[in-house]
Amino acid sequence: MRGNELVELARLRPVIADGAMGTMLQQKGLEPGACPELWNIEHADVVRAIYEAYIAAGSEVISTNTFGGNRIKSRTYALENRAVEINSASVRIAKGVAGEQAYVMGSIGPTGHFLE
């Protein structure tokens, strides 16, 4: 399993991961208040190019563009019913770019709400 390989690699030396996806998307035109995860569907070419740039810069791990992709947070954009579709698109893009060059790590952020 590749995950075990990553753990072993991290025991031997520092592993280089990518940087912030949101900042990169903003540089590519993501407007304030817009849903970054929706770009996995509507601007997949941009998300792909960002992953490619991180790998070209030496990243050995890239994170999925799914930080705010949970159903609760997705309600902010009325996208809760598309959460699986949007997150799956990010995983497909990241895995397609990573191939054997990099590992793909899921990114899970907060819901934005206090839960009881």
* pTM, to two decimals: 0.91
Domain range summary for the chain, segments of one domain joined by +: 2-105
SS (H, E, C) 35-100: CHHHHHHHCHHHHHHHHHHHHHCCCCEEECCCCCCCHHHHHHHCCHHHHHHHHHHHHHHHHHHHCC
The dihedral formed by the CA atoms of 43, 76, 29 and 107, expressed in degrees to the nearest 10: -70
The string of pLDDT tens digits covering residues 58-92 is: 999 999 999 999 999 999 999 999 999 999 999 99
The string of pLDDT tens digits covering residues 16-25 is: 999 999 999 9
